[in-house]
Amino acid sequence: MANLFEPFSIGRLELRNRFVRSATWDATANSSGAVTDDSVALYRQLGSGGVGLIVTGFAFVSPLGQAVHHQYGVHTDDMIPGLRRLVNAAHHGGAKIALQIAHAGIGSEYIQQIGLTALAVSRIPKLSRVHREMTNEDIEAIISDFASAALRAVEAGFDAVQFHGAHGYLMSQFISPRFNHRTDQWGGDLGNRIRFHLDLITRVRHTVGGHFPLMIKFGVQDDKESGLSLSEGLKAAELIVEKGIDAIEVSVGFGAAIRVMVAGDPEQAYFRDWAAAVKQAVSVPVIAVGGIRSLEMARSIVDSGDADLVSMCRPFVREPNLIARWQRGEQGNAKCISCSKCMSSIAKGSPLVCEEEYRLIKRPNTGV
């Protein structure tokens, strides 16, 4: 049986344990996408809370790829000093940190709100959002943007990069037959629909070198009709690992990335079966995410061989020190009740806080 609190390695990256803080949008960036003091306070708190690896909230690689207001940016060199502050904050507490980089594509709420035309893999006639199909030149430029963003992550001192290949953003749009209707080399069969991923990984690997860890949050299946099937998603996972991905965090493509629970519902690690299927298909570490709320569930996932690491998001909003609590023997379940009020409030422009915890105990004025 694995000891979840012992070191674990992803390639040459050694983590102090098998716990990951999954990428979480915190809305603390300023209007240009730059890190703020509130961002640093949040990551300092997470870094000292015992987790092995922190994955940042998604950072946009180019202006038309921004998904939401107050999202981190990694689109210019001007972002590097602030991002370096995040790294230092995480490292101060002993955690490693990966920068999640993303392009929203047609999924950008921000681009719609400011009146710009969103870039889409294909035209979607029934979609009211203003968009246009990307040209080959657009696609190549975005791949270059990802490579430049990854290099900035290296320069800022991050320990790894994670591509956001899930939750309906651009990488999900390319691989999903629901949204990719192209008839050129970027669309059609899986070999063409996965081409964007493979070319992107190749370009980034060439840019950052052979040993810098590259990870992906991968939507291995869509929860929508006519979307990506699990069988195609598993084949795609094999292909991206062959191209140089060092670890896969398994999630959904188009569909509900997080689920709201009600009092009394049993704990559900709702992507566990998909993670187990990916684990059987690839040779690199697999990270299970989604609904994990107890040390017992985390141990079960790893001991069964369904995944190598476990990742959580909302529990750390309420308890940034959850892993430290578990490690010192206080092994009760996470206090998070999966109500998702933290996510709904942040979408309305409020800071990332657990409303339940804030109601019970007024939090210190940390800005988060």
Rounded-to-integer distance, Cα 274 and Cα 39, Å:
32
Q: What is the pLDDT of residue 358?
A: 58
Rounded-to-integer distance, Cα 147 and Cα 319, Å:
34
**CA-atom Rg of the chain in angstroms:** 19
Bridge partners (DSSP) listed for residue 60: 73, 102
Minimal CA–CA distance to 108: which of 57, 167, 140, 68? 68
- Range of weakest confidence among 123-137, 146-160, 254-268, 308-322: 254-268
Rounded-to-integer distance, Cα 248 and Cα 213, Å:
11
Minimal CA–CA distance to 171: which of 253, 72, 249, 112? 253
Rounded-to-integer distance, Cα 355 and Cα 115, Å:
32
Kindly report the average pLDDT of the chain as a whole number: 94
- In which element (H, E) is residue 90 found? helix 80-92
Minimal CA–CA distance to 16: which of 50, 54, 56? 50
Residues 6+ apart with CB under 8 A from 359: none
Question: Token digits for 299?
Answer: 């141990």
pTM of the predicted model as reported, rounded to 2 decimal places: 0.95
Section 126-147 average pLDDT = 96
With 80 as the cut, is the pLDDT of residue 359 above it?
A: no
With 80 as the cut, is the pLDDT of residue 112 above it?
A: yes
Sign of the Cα pseudo-torsion (345, 347, 350, 351, in order)? positive
β pairing state of 247-251 and 286-289: parallel
- Range of weakest confidence among 166-175, 214-223, 307-316, 339-348: 339-348
- Residue 344's pLDDT band (boundaries 50, 70, 90)? confident
Residues 6+ apart with CB under 8 A from 49: 93, 95, 316, 319, 320, 321, 322, 323, 324
Bridge partners (DSSP) listed for residue 278: none
Contact yes or no for 278/220 (Cβ under 8 A): yes
Residue-wise pLDDT tens digits, 76-96: 999 999 999 999 999 999 999
Matching residue, tokens 């940016």: 73
Q: What is the pLDDT of residue 362?
A: 42
Domains of the chain as residue ranges with CATH = 8-360 (3.20.20.70)
Residues in the chain: 368
- Round to the nearest angstrom and report the end-to-end CA distance of the chain: 37
Range picked from 125-129, 208-212, 339-343 for highest mean pLDDT: 208-212
Rounded-to-integer distance, Cα 151 and Cα 237, Å:
24
Q: What is the pLDDT of residue 356?
A: 76
- Residue 286's pLDDT band (boundaries 50, 70, 90)? very high
Contact yes or no for 60/29 (Cβ under 8 A): no
Residues 6+ apart with CB under 8 A from 320: 45, 46, 49
Minimal CA–CA distance to 55: which of 251, 239, 231? 251
Q: DSSP code of 117?
A: P
Q: What is the pLDDT of residue 367?
A: 29
With 60 as the cut, is the pLDDT of residue 366 above it?
A: no
Section 69-73 average pLDDT = 96
Minimal CA–CA distance to 100: which of 178, 37, 162? 162
Active site residue 43: no
- In which element (H, E) is residue 248 found? strand 247-251
Q: What is the pLDDT of residue 361?
A: 42
Q: Which of 43, 72, 110, 169 is catalytic?
A: 169
Q: What is the pLDDT of residue 1?
A: 65
